[in-house]
Structure 1
Amino acid sequence: MKVSTKIDQNAQTPNIVIFAKQKTAKIVYLEHEIQSVINHSSLFVKNQEDYQQIELPNIDRFYTEEHAIYCQVNGQHYKTQKRIYELADFLPESLFIQISQSEIINRHFIQCFRLSKTGAYEVILRDGQTTFASRRYMRRIKKEKLL
């Protein structure tokens, strides 16, 4: 796939055009990803063989499992094409918080933080699950007063 940019002094607004022989699943996915980046309000995730658009506020968390990135929405788990570092740059900080190198959580999905007896930071989620935050990210969270 070739990506290029053409400058037109007469253009009123930027336009993105995809030239292809036929409309494939990859082209549809690319269209949706471009639109979600522009809107910054939704993300396309994979459910079985289909791609599904999910609004960002509906996503509970993103996590890494067996070298793949998943998102959780109301107890359902979907595979995403983006890496954690891409999601960290893409997702609005007002809605999501990164707690480790392998997990980003919707702020509204966090019930509380708790320091365990071993000194690890537990993150208790609204659905009763417990996950752990790394010390490095907790230091950043406290320093920036994100909680």
Structure 2
Amino acid sequence: MKLKLNIDSDCEKIEVQITAKEIDDEVNDIVRKLEKESLKTLVGFIEDEAVILEPIDIIRIYTSNNKILAETKDGEYKLRYRIYECEEKLNRNRFIRISQSELINLSMVKKFDFSITGTIRVVLKNGVSTFVSRRYVSTIRKVLGV
């Protein structure tokens, strides 16, 4: 591994860039370590138990029956935040809003399906399919560079 540091007096925020031939275990380990340092945790609830949710484990955050839920591989947790508060707390390079009622973790996306006119179907790694609302289609296209 080679480490390069660039000092730029015009830089307003620290930016970390990883250049690799492919995503492998070493790259994933580096990303996980950096995320743990830079991301804030959320507190989710199952009944009366509070559970610390690491952002890297969150698949998506969405509303259902007027409740905000965080879906992880271990289950769903009720959140006592609004969607916009979750969006503010989480890393904007990792979590992206796809509708008024849903944020997704980009690292948990299996594929984006552009075949439906006017919207994008998102298939997550856990098999769940969800849709990008028309309002957010251009944002997703920008993020993906398409």
Q: Please classify the TM superposition score into its range, dividing by the shorter chain length.
A: 0.5 to 0.7
TM-score by length of 2: 0.67
Matched with 1:113 is 112
CA deviations over 1:78-107 (Å, ceiling 9, x no partner): 000001111112111122111111110111
Pair 146,99 (structure 1): closer, same or farther in 2 beyond 3 Å: farther
Q: How does 1:1-147 map to 2 (within 5 A)?
A: 40-117=39-116, 119-145=118-144
Q: Displacement, 1:117?
A: 4.0
Give 1:121 deviation, angstroms.
1.4
* Gap regions ≥5 residues in structure 2: 1-37
Count of aligned residue pairs for this structure pair? 109
For the pair shown, the structure with the greater C-alpha radius of gyration is: 1
Distance 1:45 1:72 in 2: 10
Aligned residues with identical type, % of pairs: 35
- Per-residue Cα deviation, 1:3-51 (whole angstroms, up to 9, x for no partner): xxxxxxxxxxxxxxxxxxxxxxxxxxxxxxxxxxxx7431111111111
CA RMSD of aligned residues (A): 1.9
Quick one: which amino acid aligns to residue 46 of structure 1?
F
**Please, which runs of 5 or more residues in structure 1 have no aligned partner?**
1-38
Q: Secondary structure at the match of 2:61?
A: strand
**Normalization by structure 1: what TM-score?**
0.67
Shift, 1:58, TM fit: 0.9
